[in-house]
Structure 1
Amino acid sequence: MFGPLFSFRRSQVNTFPGLYRPFQIAILSLLASLPLSSRADSAPTEPAVNVAAGAGAAGHQATHSAVFAVINGREIGMQEYEIAFTTLVRQRFYHGQIPESELAQVREEIKKKLVQRVVLVEEAERRQVAIDVAQIDEAMAGYDKRYATAPQWQENRERVLPELRKSLVEQSQVAALDKLVKDVGSPTDAQVRAFYEQNPQLFTEPEKLRLAVILLAIDPASPPAAWQSARDEARAIYARIKAGTAFEDAARLHSSVYSDAGGDMGYLHRGMLPEVIQERIDQFVVGQINEPIDTLEGVAIFKLLERLVPKKRDFADVAGRARELLLRERQDKAWKDLVDRLVAKAEVKFIGFKTTEQPNAGQD
């Protein structure tokens, strides 16, 4: 298949509405000294437990007991910062190796998230939001079961469990606060219509191109002679088409892809093609056979069958989608406004860095 040339570009979506994955930082902080009994035993959606091999070493005790920050009077330990740092690096960077150029940015991001977590928990307590006790109990039981055979768990269980519950309660508080803040009510029909009119780009179908291709596939690693042979063959095919041979017939006979359809690739949206190919196609005239060009997968002859200009969809067709987008926009704004307000009035003091993170701090 013409994969590398005509593949969809997928965007990354952050599906968690809060600041971090449920229970991730909490369990990392509390179980840093415990071995991971079995990753295979965990459910696919449950965060893995990172185990810092030397977390309990004597040389780290002073560092881990040090204070990293004081936020509205609450002390954040250096160990909590270090584990949050390691977790983010492992999640974001290949093999847990962070480029030196991004180290300062990651530090600032961790500091920001720690502040946000503290002020959100305080706000949840102020509003006395209801927590999900059943979910907390289930999570507690799950971790207790998973680490039941770990000697260090048995040795530290009575000390760890109260702190684990405290952290899980905070996670539940933030989740409940998130739900409460985002209960902004459904927008009216008039508001949805206004949102539709003010954001035409959200409801406009992009330009569509219907292309046909004759591809003479070549392994990218092939020697120059093989590529030159394909170019020569493509030019010969192009000459026969210009002389009267039907493009569809030539595609059925010679093309490595879409041959059964006479080369017809169907409709493609702008953005589905590599920029270098898109720029060439932008100059094509509908119905014209274009000279052979090199692509990632070989030598291709293109024919532009149809070009459909961008079209804004009728409101009746997208009213439901418009309502969803407007509601989500309002929910996100309500949450962001709350976080910004709480952080702005927070009293924060960072004591300083007592350790030096390495570029491979998250590497196993």
Structure 2
Amino acid sequence: MLLAVALLVAACDEPKAVEDAAPPAVIIVGDQEITLVEFKEALRRLLPEGASEFGPEDLVNLKRSLVKQLVEESLVLREARRRGLGVSDEEVLVEVEALKKGYMGEEFTEAITARYGSVERWKDEIRRKLLIRKVIDGIISTSVEVTEEEARAYYEEHIDEYRVPEQVRARMIVVADEKEAKAVRKRLRREKFEDVAREVSIGPEAEKGGDLGFFSRGEMPEEFEKVVFKLRKGRISRIVKTPYGYHIFRVEERKKGRKLRFEDVVDRIVEKIEREKADRAFIEWMAAAKKAARIEVREELL
């Protein structure tokens, strides 16, 4: 789901006291404050490698995006408190173990420490992210029911999306020059196409006996399709010259174009409508939350 607030790259710690004075607040959402120190730390994590080449306009746009993200995060976390939601240590552990897969111990710890300062702080960020997910799930849960009538109506209105075009499965041999291609074509009169392909073809599909798999019009170079879609099953094509070399084709199978039945695609349609409803519900909730909240952004400090 394309909800920027749901997958925050950075989040802010609780305000920390300093010897002389607390850092100034740059974003205020209700009774929550985000300090300049916290904002800069969040911004640091968002900046890509080579940030020295990040243009002034790009930096301004990034800051605006981050402000929006942090405001929305604050509103969602305020809703979490209103609903009495929390995240258990076990839930955090499950997420941590899933994220650690594929990393070596020291390599993982070093990467986390470089980005978050410590593993414990990273776990705090995970807890925050999981809490945000819970809130969003709660906000949209009553809005994503999809009836069969809705799904069928969508199917009828978007029927072209559920038409499968004619497909062909073909094998190909490609060689570097015409003389070799002519010799190969003669061999195909008495030898198996796939065996010759494995021996002489310079294409990456050679190891599979030249098998290109199934494809529709528009998925292969035009020179291929002009020949293959007119070729009868089991027949060997003429030699076709392209910028890639000299090609010979044989059609293995054909599938006629067809319309997918509603029963075959209903799950896919329901999932799509659910996503659209969920996005719409969250956008509407966030708009109302922003309207009701006191939000102040001190742009001159950013």
Query: Same fold by TM (over 0.5)?
Result: yes
The answer (yes or no) to whether the contact 1:286–1:307 under 8 Å persists in 2 is no
Pairwise mapping of residues 74-223 of structure 1 onto structure 2 (< 5 A)?
Answer: 74-89=32-47, 93=48, 99-100=54-55, 102-126=58-82, 128-135=83-90, 171=129, 173-184=131-142, 186-200=145-159, 202-205=161-164, 208-216=167-175
For the residue of structure 2 that corresponds to 1:179, the secondary structure is: helix
How far has the Cα of 1:79 moved from its partner?
Answer: 1.9
For the residue of structure 1 that corresponds to 2:155, the secondary structure is: helix
* Deviation by residue 1:103-135 (Cα, 9 ceiling, x = unmatched): 333222211101111222233344x24323455
- Give me the whole-angstrom Cα distance separating, in 1, the residues matched to 2:128 and 2:261: 45
TM-score, normalization by structure 1: 0.56
The answer (yes or no) to whether the contact 2:198–2:210 under 8 Å persists in 1 is yes
Pairwise mapping of residues 348-363 of structure 1 onto structure 2 (< 5 A)?
Answer: 348-352=295-299, 354=301
Q: How many residues end up aligned between the 2 structures?
A: 264
- Give me the whole-angstrom Cα distance separating, in 2, the residues matched to 1:83 and 1:213: 56
Pairwise mapping of residues 214-363 of structure 1 onto structure 2 (< 5 A)?
Answer: 214-216=173-175, 230=176, 233=177, 235-240=178-183, 246=189, 248=193, 251=197, 253-257=199-203, 258-259=205-206, 262-268=209-215, 278-284=221-227, 285-287=229-231, 288-289=237-238, 291-295=240-244, 299=245, 301=247, 303=249, 305=251, 311-352=258-299, 354=301
Match of 2:113 in 1: none
Distance 1:202 1:168, change over 3 A: same
- Which stretch shifts more, 328-337 or 109-118? 328-337
TM-score, normalization by structure 2: 0.65
Distance 1:108 1:269, change over 3 A: farther
Greater RCO, CA 8 A, separation 6+:
1
Letter in 1 for 2:180: I
- Give me the whole-angstrom Cα distance separating, in 1, the residues matched to 2:127 and 2:179: 72
Unaligned residue ranges in structure 1 (runs of 5+): 1-13, 33-55, 143-160, 217-229, 356-364
The answer to whether residue 27 in structure 2 is matched with residue 19 in structure 1 is no
Work out the percentage of aligned pairs sharing the same amino acid. Answer: 18
The answer (yes or no) to whether the contact 1:29–1:79 under 8 Å persists in 2 is no
- Give me the whole-angstrom Cα distance separating, in 2, the residues matched to 1:266 and 1:29: 53
Match of 2:107 in 1: none
Output the aligned Cα RMSD: 4.5
How far has the Cα of 1:172 moved from its partner?
Answer: 5.4
The answer (yes or no) to whether the contact 2:6–2:132 under 8 Å persists in 1 is no
How far has the Cα of 1:342 moved from its partner?
Answer: 2.4
How far has the Cα of 1:243 moved from its partner?
Answer: 7.6
How far has the Cα of 1:283 moved from its partner?
Answer: 4.1
